[in-house]
Amino acid sequence: MSDMVHECGVFGAYNVAHAATTCFYGLYALQHRGQEGAGIVTCDTSQFFVVKDSGLVSDIFNKESLTYLKGTNGIGHVRYSTTGGNNKANIQPMYSKTSKGKIAIAHNGNITNAYVLYNQLKEAGALFQSTIDSEVLLHLFATSKKRSPLEAMQDTLSHLEGAFSIVAMGDGYLMAARDPNGFRPLALAKLGKGYVIASETCAFDLLNADYVRDIEPGELIMITDDGVESHRFAEPLKRVSQCIFEHVYFARPDSDIFGLNVHQARKEMGRQLALQSPVDADMVIGIPDSGNSAALGYAEASGLPLEMGIIRNHYVGRTFIQPRQRIRSLGVKVKLNPVKSVIQGKRLVVIDDSLVRGTTSKERVSALRRAGAKEIHLRISSPPVIGPCFYGIDTPSKDQLIAANYSIAAICEYIGADTLAFLSVKNLLRAVQDDPHNRFCTACFDGKYPVKVTHKGKKIFESRKERIQLYGTSNRY
């Protein structure tokens, strides 16, 4: 029943014609970061308007609800979580009235000391409405002894550990902050006379907003009618640890994150993989869509032709991202179909971005065999995932990570491939130009966790009995 904020997307708009529409398009572009629920809070002459619900952005918002969301400032959130999916109280943004005025907050990441803070706050009398670590933020802000919203937010953020990219809105301001390690991306752009903030730059492209810069690790920016002010809530670290898995899998290829385009980074991973683990084969095929960029790089570097060996049904969501296993395995079959006439009798290099549980790869390999592939050489454009992520990516626990429990030879046999190879950590870092090696977190691949995890990452806990369940499909306030 524990609930954690995982792969999420955040968005903010300040001084734009109609904030709700801008947030809607921003969230639409960030939909891949979370498909379980979404919300927008806008502010119009100190009044807050809220629409949030479970489901996809396009299902939740319509003309009526967008019209209801008045104002030129707003923030939004798309959410994904492993459990407690139907608990609508967990859908963000969170908002409240405090002694520093109204505030709404949207958070992406995972606060590793949330459990400790939650218990401290509860002991002190805080009334929690949800089980997400983001609510801790609201309480810290509300109870901060600092008087101004800026100082109260600086104070709040200084208590947090782990991963957090945040947008917050109050009456007449928008704030955005990134944790000192810079785990999750967050960027600022100019839109007309105003500003927008987004987890990924693909949201700016959709809005024709002009990218200004990334929010720095440990930085808190404050946007008001006077412009953008930069503040800090933590000293700069010598070594930041931005999530390499954003580049491997999570972010959209058309986004630039951590100073690098995601597609180019993945293509380079494929190129490195071809140099590191070559194969005598007839063609390269990528697993759509996550393996496509790396497959292109592998083909280029190896000189083998790139083919469309698997076609994706675009009307199915990300398979893995469905929290329940039953839906996930059905999704794998519905989603991808091998092209028989392309692969029949051929020796294939099959490229995918990552191998986590190994279950989807196994199904894909057997589908390619059924379609007549002569040889299947699986090449993964990232290293074996050997440890869970405590900083906001949904990786299963160690017992479910196939590479944490089996040798590469055993995995290859389980999956049914002829050969299997992974990109090394060193070559992965080379692909993202991490030289000297000091910009990325590679904990899921090498077990080096840059921020200590209190209580083994224990989450805020709520049993079914304790839960307060909201009625209805709509969750407007």
Q: Which is nearer to ligand AMP, 321 or 376 (CB)?
A: 321
Question: Terminus-to-terminus CA distance in the chain, angstroms?
Answer: 25
Look up residue 96 and give its two tokens.
């409240």
Phi, psi (deg, nearest 5) at residue 33: -85, -5
Q: Which is nearer to ligand AMP, 135 or 352 (CB)?
A: 352
Catalytic option among 8, 43, 202, 243: 8
Question: Reading across the β-sheet that carries 187-191, which strands appear in turn?
Answer: 47-54, 37-44, 73-79, 9-14, 194-198, 187-191, 210-214
Considering only CA atoms, give the Rg of the chain.
22
Q: Which is nearer to ligand AMP, 154 or 359 (CB)?
A: 359
Among this protein's residues, is 23 annotated catalytic? no
Q: What stretches of 279-324 show up as alpha helix (H) in DSSP? A: 292-302
Q: Find out whether 276 and 423 touch, Cβ atoms under 8 Å.
A: yes
Q: To the nearest whole angstrom, how small is the minimum distance from the Cβ of residue 166 to ligand AMP?
A: 21
DSSP, collapsed to helix, strand or coil, labels residue 243 as strand
Q: To the nearest whole angstrom, how small is the minimum distance from the Cβ of residue 247 to ligand AMP?
A: 13
Q: Which is nearer to ligand AMP, 40 or 385 (CB)?
A: 385
Q: To the nearest whole angstrom, how small is the minimum distance from the Cβ of residue 356 to ligand AMP?
A: 3
CA angle 71, 77, 78 (to 5 degrees): 140
Q: To the nearest whole angstrom, how small is the minimum distance from the Cβ of residue 391 to ligand AMP?
A: 12
Q: To the nearest whole angstrom, how small is the minimum distance from the Cβ of residue 254 to ligand AMP?
A: 17
Diameter of the chain measured on Cα atoms: 71
Contacts with ligand AMP by CB under 6 A lie at 249, 287, 290, 318, 320-321, 352-361, 393-395
Q: Which is nearer to ligand AMP, 395 or 442 (CB)?
A: 395
Q: To the nearest whole angstrom, how small is the minimum distance from the Cβ of residue 364 to ligand AMP?
A: 8
CA distance 95 to 106: 9
Q: Which is nearer to ligand AMP, 393 or 429 (CB)?
A: 393
Amino acid at 15: N
Q: To the nearest whole angstrom, how small is the minimum distance from the Cβ of residue 32 to ligand AMP?
A: 9
Q: To the nearest whole angstrom, how small is the minimum distance from the Cβ of residue 344 to ligand AMP?
A: 24
**100 to 44, 143, 177, 198: CA distances (angstroms):** 17, 10, 18, 25
Q: To the nearest whole angstrom, how small is the minimum distance from the Cβ of residue 476 to ligand AMP?
A: 30
Could you list the beta-strand ranges (E) of 125-193: 162-170, 173-178, 187-191
Q: Which is nearer to ligand AMP, 48 or 245 (CB)?
A: 245
Residue 64, judged by CB atoms within 10 A of its CB (0-12, 13-18, 19+), counts as exposed
CA distance 212 to 203: 13
Residues 6+ apart with CB under 8 A from 37: 52, 53, 54, 55, 60, 78, 79, 88, 90, 91, 92
CA nearest neighbour of 445 among 427, 460, 458, 471? 427
Nearest residue (beta carbon) to ligand AMP: 320
CA distance 37 to 354: 25
Q: Find out whether 280 and 374 touch, Cβ atoms under 8 Å.
A: no
Q: Which is nearer to ligand AMP, 95 or 258 (CB)?
A: 258
β-pairing, 347-352 with 375-380?
parallel
The residues annotated as belonging to the active site are 8
